[in-house]
């Protein structure tokens, strides 16, 4: 067999993009100035790629809670939850989240990725799962690890989903998986339609609320609250790494389901417990989600402003008050070029190519937050305007006769 390492080629693409100055990944910030600004290569940029929707990652109260918990309980418990790594603090967080989400039980995990991975423990080899085309990699991995079969339906396409469920009389499918607010497109799932199909065909419904927790719904409980459909969702997963501004995740659902996950989900059993700092930070952030609803209003108002302005500039963006603004690019190279134009103009965005988005697509993703001031929002829009002008000039030059 040929040397395993000899077939690895990604480094060549990385090198080529780096030489052209277009490599957009792993750009390390030297420091941060609050939630909305980062310093990279000595330049202060508007942070428009972090999902810190409510601006809580640098909130003094959240930081203080994390520091106090570290002083009291240490940096880590150095054991998995099941094997004596559990703290009363984890249980307090689970109780508070269960109350907040109005779910009987909650299991806290070290990341949102692991919360989603845990859903695999509900599945057996041979089960069939229907998943939206745009679901996050962690949900795809959950099904893959369980050796169940994931059948994808076109994004939010209820006709396709219904056809799938009908073709199997509903019997084959045990679970439908979707996201509340989609992470790569920024649009909402059609929860009323999906919930109705799940009910009619007797299929369980799992909802990943990573991006809608804290942002959608009157109390910030996410997309299910927004649609008034919380009872229709059987299992809800959340992450602390978006609106809560920290690290960690959770699965919320019926008592016996969560008890099962606690004893069968490998992403819970075989990894260390959430750090005291992260658990305490999530608790403090949750207090702010509940106590300061004006942050939800601000982020949605800011998102409407940015998406509206980008649509006016001619970008293929649908104006909305959802905090993810996904700007499609023609191809990967144009995506990297636009990313670089924005970077040079002082705005840090996220360039997304497969496998972060489906094959053949590329997107510049902007995450708008309550921490962005009007001036930050203006700088984001101005950077896109400059990027558009430069792209037009480049295209005109490329078509000029030599």
> Does 112 contact ligand PMP by CB under 6 A?
yes
The distance of closest approach from Cβ of residue 279 to ligand PMP in the complex, given in angstroms and rounded to an integer, is 14
> Does 109 contact ligand PMP by CB under 6 A?
no
Q: Between residues 179 and 230, which has the closer beta carbon with respect to ligand PMP?
A: 179
> Does 113 contact ligand PMP by CB under 6 A?
yes
Rounding to the nearest 10 degrees, give the CA dihedral for residues 105, 108, 113, 119: -30
> Does 275 contact ligand PMP by CB under 6 A?
no
Torsion sign across C-alpha atoms 27, 31, 37, 39: negative
The residue within the footprint of ligand PMP, chosen from 249, 276, 323, 387 (CB under 6 A), is 249
Collect all residues with Cβ–Cβ distance below 8 Å to 268 and sequence separation of at least 6: 80, 81, 82, 107, 109, 114, 118, 261, 262
> Does 53 contact ligand PMP by CB under 6 A?
no
Q: How many residues bind ligand PMP (CB under 6 A)?
A: 14
> Does 185 contact ligand PMP by CB under 6 A?
no
The distance of closest approach from Cβ of residue 52 to ligand PMP in the complex, given in angstroms and rounded to an integer, is 12
The distance of closest approach from Cβ of residue 200 to ligand PMP in the complex, given in angstroms and rounded to an integer, is 26
Burial 245-275 (b: 16+ CB within 10 A, else e): bbbbbbbbbeeebbebbbeebebbbebebbb
Tokens of 6: 């000899």
Measure the CA–CA gap between 252 and 109, rounded to whole angstroms. 11
**Stretch near ligand PMP under the rule CB under 6 A, chosen from 110-118, 291-299, 325-333, 388-396:** 110-118
Contacts of range 18-22, beta carbons closer than 8 Å, 24 or more positions apart: 21/340, 22/333, 22/336, 22/337, 22/339, 22/340
The residue within the footprint of ligand PMP, chosen from 35, 47, 49, 111 (CB under 6 A), is 111
Instruction: Map tokens 């989900």 to a residue.
Output: 265
Kindly identify the residues of this chain, within the stretch 141-180, that bind ligand PMP according to CB under 6 A.
179
> Does 138 contact ligand PMP by CB under 6 A?
yes
> Does 35 contact ligand PMP by CB under 6 A?
no
**At 130, which helix (H) or strand (E)?**
strand 128-132
Q: Between residues 305 and 324, which has the closer beta carbon with respect to ligand PMP?
A: 324
The distance of closest approach from Cβ of residue 202 to ligand PMP in the complex, given in angstroms and rounded to an integer, is 26
Instruction: Output the CA angle 247-356-21, nearest 5 degrees.
Output: 95
Return the closest-CA partner of residue 90 out of 71, 69, 104. 69
The residue within the footprint of ligand PMP, chosen from 81, 103, 128, 136 (CB under 6 A), is 136
> Does 186 contact ligand PMP by CB under 6 A?
no
Q: Between residues 283 and 309, which has the closer beta carbon with respect to ligand PMP?
A: 283
The residue within the footprint of ligand PMP, chosen from 47, 183, 349, 362 (CB under 6 A), is 183
> Does 362 contact ligand PMP by CB under 6 A?
no
The distance of closest approach from Cβ of residue 237 to ligand PMP in the complex, given in angstroms and rounded to an integer, is 7
Measure the CA–CA gap between 199 and 87, rounded to whole angstroms. 38
> Does 47 contact ligand PMP by CB under 6 A?
no
Measure the CA–CA gap between 159 and 167, rounded to whole angstroms. 12
Measure the CA–CA gap between 392 and 397, rounded to whole angstroms. 9
The distance of closest approach from Cβ of residue 271 to ligand PMP in the complex, given in angstroms and rounded to an integer, is 12
**Stretch near ligand PMP under the rule CB under 6 A, chosen from 17-25, 205-213, 339-347, 367-375:** 205-213
Rg (CA), the chain: 22
- Residue with the CB atom nearest ligand PMP in the bound state: 112
Measure the CA–CA gap between 398 and 98, rounded to whole angstroms. 58
> Does 69 contact ligand PMP by CB under 6 A?
no
> Does 340 contact ligand PMP by CB under 6 A?
no
The distance of closest approach from Cβ of residue 201 to ligand PMP in the complex, given in angstroms and rounded to an integer, is 24
Contact 255, 262 (CB under 8 A): no
> Does 241 contact ligand PMP by CB under 6 A?
yes
Q: Between residues 49 and 307, which has the closer beta carbon with respect to ligand PMP?
A: 49
**At 1, which helix (H) or strand (E)?**
none
Collect all residues with Cβ–Cβ distance below 8 Å to 48 and sequence separation of at least 6: 347, 348, 349, 366, 367, 368, 372, 376, 380
Q: Under the rule (CB under 6 A), what is the footprint of ligand PMP?
A: 111-113, 116, 136, 138, 179, 183, 208, 210-211, 239, 241, 249
């Amino acid at each position: 067999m040929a040397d395993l390492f000899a077939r690895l080629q990604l480094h060549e693409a990385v090198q080529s993009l780096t030489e052209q100055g277009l490599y957009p990944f792993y750009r390390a910030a030297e420091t941060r100035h609050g939630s909305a600004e980062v310093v990279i290569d000595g330049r202060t940029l508007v942070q428009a790629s972090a999902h810190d929707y409510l601006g809580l990652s640098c909130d003094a109260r959240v930081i203080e809670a994390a520091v106090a918990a570290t002083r009291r309980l240490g940096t880590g418990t150095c054991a998995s939850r099941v094997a004596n790594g559990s703290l009363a603090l984890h249980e307090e967080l689970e109780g508070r989240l269960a109350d907040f989400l109005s779910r009987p039980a909650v299991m806290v995990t070290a990341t949102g990725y692991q919360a989603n991975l845990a859903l695999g423990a509900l599945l057996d080899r041979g089960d069939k799962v229907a998943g939206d085309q745009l679901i996050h990699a962690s949900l795809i991995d959950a099904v893959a690890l369980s050796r169940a079969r994931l059948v994808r339906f076109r994004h939010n396409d209820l006709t396709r989903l219904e056809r799938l469920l009908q073709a199997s009389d509903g019997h084959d499918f045990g679970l439908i998986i979707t996201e509340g607010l989609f992470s790569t497109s920024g649009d909402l799932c059609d929860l009323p339609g999906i919930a109705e199909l799940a009910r009619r065909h007797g299929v369980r419904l799992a909802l990943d609320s990573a991006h809608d927790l804290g942002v959608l719904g009157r109390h910030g409980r996410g997309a299910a609250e927004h649609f008034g459909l919380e009872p229709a969702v059987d299992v809800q997963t959340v992450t602390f790494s978006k609106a809560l501004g920290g690290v960690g995740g959770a699965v919320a659902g019926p008592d016996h389901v969560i008890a099962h996950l606690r004893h069968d989900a490998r992403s819970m059993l075989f990894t260390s417990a959430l750090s005291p700092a992260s658990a305490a930070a999530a608790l403090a952030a949750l207090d702010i989600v509940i106590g300061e609803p004006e942050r939800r209003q601000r982020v949605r108002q800011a998102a409407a402003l940015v998406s509206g302005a980008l649509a006016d500039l001619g970008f293929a963006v649908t104006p909305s008050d959802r905090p993810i603004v996904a700007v499609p690019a023609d191809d990967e190279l144009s995506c990297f070029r636009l990313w670089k134009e924005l970077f040079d103009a002082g705005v840090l965005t996220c360039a997304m190519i497969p496998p972060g988005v489906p094959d053949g697509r590329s997107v510049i993703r902007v995450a708008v937050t309550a921490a962005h001031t009007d001036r930050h929002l203006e700088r984001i829009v101005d950077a896109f305007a400059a990027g558009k002008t430069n792209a037009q000039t480049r295209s005109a030059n490329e078509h000029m006769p030599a």
